[in-house]
A and B are shown apart, each in its own frame.
Chain A
Amino acid sequence: MDDEIYSFALKNTLNEVRNVCPEITNAFMFKEDGEVIAGDENTPEKTIVRVVDSFDSILEKAEAIGDVEGVALEGDKGRLNVFHMNNLYFVIVTSRKADMTYVNTVTRVLIPTILKLLDKICPTPLKNNPPLTEKVPITPTLRETEEPSEDLVEETALEESEEIVKPEIKSEPLLPEAPVNQLIVENLGGLLVPSDTVRIDNKILSEWEELYENKTIEEVEIKTIDGKTTRCKVKPIKDSKYEGKGIIQMPEKIQLALEIKKGELVRAKPIVE
C-alpha cells in the first residue's frame, strides 16, 4: 500500500463518517507537525491550512498544560472538536443540532480503528513523515514554465511530486528559470515596517541567490491562487518563530492589493534583472 492509497483510505473514511453523521459538516486530520493527512471532500485544503495555522498558536503554548489532548469549541451555530489520537489531530465540525454522543461514538471508534488497521497494513506513512496526499505544500519549488492553476491546492501530492524540481541549473550558461515557492501568508506589522516589503525565509533567499550565482535578490513577484500578481521588495524573516515554516510575512497594504489575508497561499518567485 503506498501513500496515495493510504490517504485515499482515510479520505474515504472521513467521507463515510460524514455520511453516517450528516451533522458533521467538515472532517479532516493533520499531523503534530502541521502536515495535512486527509480531509473530507467538503473541506478545501485552503481552509485546513488556516485551521492548522490557528491551532498552531495554541499548540505552541500548550506545553504549560501538558500538551493538547483535545479541543472543544462551541459556537451558537455549531461546534468544532479536535481529538488527539495516534500522533494525529482529528478535527470535526458539527452543526448545532448534532448529537455529540453519537458523533463521538462514531468518530472515536471508527477513526482509531481505521488508523490502527492502516498502521498495521502499512506503518510507514505516519511514522516516517513522508509527504502524503493533500500535504500542505509548504515550499515546493516548481518549474517556472508551469502555469499555476486555480485548483492548485486540490492537486494531489503525487502530481505535486512530479512537479517538484530541485534547481540543478548551475552548469547552464544562461540565467536559470526562476523557481517558484508556495508560501503561507502571515501578517507583518509595526511602526517601522515598510509597506512595500515582504519577508520570507532566509533559507529560500539563499537558495535563490545561490541559483543566480550569488546575486542579491531584492525583489519578488507574488502571485495569488486567483491569479493576482504584484512585485515588491523582499527581505529575510527576522522572527525566528516563522523560520522554516514556509511563511511569507506580508504588510497589510500588499495583502489588500492582492485581496488575500493571513493563512492563504501565494506563489513567490525571485526577480533578477
Chain B
Amino acid sequence: MVKKKRSFQEVTEVAEPLTVEEATSAHGIRACLEEIKSYDGVVGYILRNSTSAAIDLKDPTKIIDYAILSSSAIDASKELSELFNLGEVKNIVIEGKEIKVLSLTIDENKISIFLEKGADYETIVKKLYAL
C-alpha cells in the first residue's frame, strides 16, 4: 500500500491491478473534483471505489465523520430507492445546519462533495454527469 499525504489531502491507493478504463475513469473524476473544489462554498470531497480512495477536506479533523456520513448516505439512498421504487439513484443531498453533502455514484466511484449550506450543487451535479 502506498500512502501519500499532502497538506490536507489524503490519498490511499491499494496496490491491485486496475484496468486502464477504470483508472482513466477515476482519474477523470478526480480531476473534475479538483476543479469543483475551487468552486465557491465547496469545503471538500471524498472519492472512493473498490481499489482507492481520495479525501480532500478543508478541515482535516472532520475526515472520519464525513467519510462515515458519506458511506451511510449512499447506503441509505439505495435502501430508500428500493423501498419506493425510485429507480437508479442519481444523487442524494443531506442538508445540515452548517454543511450539506451531495453524494452520488458514477460507475463504481462513490463521490461525496461537502458544501457550505448556501452553496449551489446543481452545477456540480451537471458537471459530474457530463463526464
Task: Take A73-B89, A75-B88, A75-B89 as given contacts and tell me if A64 and B65 are in contact as well, using a CB distance cutoff of 8 Å.
Answer: yes
Contact B95 A73 (CB under 8 A): no
Q: How far is the CB of B119 from chain A (nearest CB, A)?
A: 13
A229 CB-CB contact with B under 8 Å: no
A137 to B73, CA, bound (A): 26
Contact B100 A65 (CB under 8 A): yes
A70 CB-CB contact with B under 8 Å: yes
Contact A66 B79 (CB under 8 A): no
A119 to B75, CA, bound (A): 35
Contact B84 A65 (CB under 8 A): no
Q: Chain A: how many interface residues by the 8 Å CB criterion?
A: 31
Contact A75 B96 (CB under 8 A): no
Contact B85 A77 (CB under 8 A): yes
A65 to B65, CA, bound (A): 9
Contacts of B98 in A (CB 8 A): 65-66
A172 CB-CB contact with B under 8 Å: no
A60 to B69, CA, bound (A): 9
B45 CB-CB contact with A under 8 Å: no
Contacts of B83 in A (CB 8 A): 47, 50-51, 54
Contact B96 A62 (CB under 8 A): yes
Closest residue of A by beta carbon distance from B72? A57
A67 to B95, CA, bound (A): 8
Task: Take A63-B65, A65-B94 as given contacts and tell me if A73 and B80 are in contact as well, using a CB distance cutoff of 8 Å.
Answer: yes
Contact B86 A79 (CB under 8 A): yes
Contact B79 A54 (CB under 8 A): yes
From B66, B79, B88, B92, contact of A64 by CB (8 A): B66
Residues of chain B touching chain A, judged by Cβ–Cβ distance below 8 Å, are: 62, 65-66, 68-69, 72-73, 75-77, 79-81, 83-101, 114
Contacts A70-B94, A74-B89 aside, 6 further interface pairs with beta carbons under 8 A come to A62-B94, A69-B96, A71-B94, A73-B86, A75-B88, A78-B87
